[in-house]
Amino acid sequence: MSEVMNMLTKEELNRYRRQISLLGEEGQEKLKRTKILIAGAGGLGSPVVTYLALAGIGRIAIADDDVVEVSNLNRQILHWSADVGRKKTVSAEEKVRAMNSYVELETVSCKIDETNVNDVVGDADLIVDALDNFSTRYLLNRVAIAHNIPFFHGAVRGFYGQVMTIIPHQTACIRCVFPDSPPAEIFPIIGATPGVIGSIQVTEVIKYITGQGELLTDRLLLWDGLAGVTKVILVKRNPSCEDCSHGK
Ligand SMILES: [Zn+2]
């Protein structure tokens, strides 16, 4: 993209005024130059897509293969009653276009697997984990490491959630911290939990892009909504991690 394309219009300067005072025009331009893949358009994907689109990320790709179900509506705020039966990518695309037409949006309606993951990741600068299962999460973790793409992990269950940011070859990856997958299940969840966790992931993304603050790298943030407590646990790379210990 040319430099001119990356410059902010007068309307964008006005639109983002309340955050430009925090990020600077340069920071806002960086958001505009960034392409982010959001894996999952469900409970976590909803706040992640929403806040990244509103923040003015230039290019967003959303990957999800599900159709909206009635039982999604307690938490998946991108999808509304009238969307039941529609593809989540289609529903998400409609909402993002209505929220912020400055965002260039791509959608991929497929289940991410070994055969398509490289195509899905494409030229993304960053990947946000808004998935609901560890098998796909491990796959994206490996691909993010292989392509040297920062990976923003989030996961939720019930009143609990966690966030960690992974800088490939520098900081602990998902597999370093969780060598084995928890059992797959239909987990209970209140909508506010992914609201909290997705919002923290977006905060991490904005910090990373604009070079502000301290990332949740080598630190796992645990949110306990019932206790009203947030804990941060120090974690470190596993030198024999099966995902990140090879190569570098
Ligand atoms: Zn690792």
pLDDT at residue 246, as a whole number: 80
pLDDT over 90 (residue 248): no
Distance from Cα 158 to the centre of ligand 1, integer Å: 26
The answer as to whether 18 is a domain residue is no
In whole angstroms, give the CA distance from residue 89 to residue 78. 10
How many domains does the chain divide into?
A: 1
Closest to 117 in 3D by CA, of 171, 37, 6, 22: 37
The answer as to whether 48 is a domain residue is yes
The answer as to whether 189 is a domain residue is yes
The answer as to whether 86 is a domain residue is yes
Closest to 59 in 3D by CA, of 39, 33, 23: 33
pLDDT at residue 4, as a whole number: 63
Distance from Cα 36 to the centre of ligand 1, integer Å: 22
In whole angstroms, give the CA distance from residue 78 to residue 45. 8
* Domain harbouring 190, CATH code: 3.40.50.720
The answer as to whether 22 is a domain residue is no
- Summarised one tens digit per residue, pLDDT across range 181-217 is 998 889 999 999 999 999 999 999 999 999 999 999 9
The answer as to whether 4 is a domain residue is no
Give the structural domain span for 162: 34-234
Kindly give, in sequence order, each residue whose CB lies less than 8 Å from that of residue 198, ignoring residues fewer than 6 positions away: 43, 44, 45, 46, 47, 48, 51, 130, 154
Kindly give, in sequence order, each residue whose CB lies less than 8 Å from that of residue 155, ignoring residues fewer than 6 positions away: 44, 129, 131, 137, 161, 162, 197
pLDDT at residue 6, as a whole number: 74
Q: What is the mean pLDDT of the chain?
A: 96
- Summarised one tens digit per residue, pLDDT across range 165-175 is 999 999 999 99
The answer as to whether 98 is a domain residue is yes
Confidence band, pLDDT 50/70/90 cuts, at residue 146: very high
pLDDT over 90 (residue 128): yes
- Summarised one tens digit per residue, pLDDT across range 59-95 is 999 999 999 999 999 999 999 999 999 999 999 999 9
Distance from Cα 178 to the centre of ligand 1, integer Å: 9
Distance from Cα 240 to the centre of ligand 1, integer Å: 8
The answer as to whether 27 is a domain residue is no
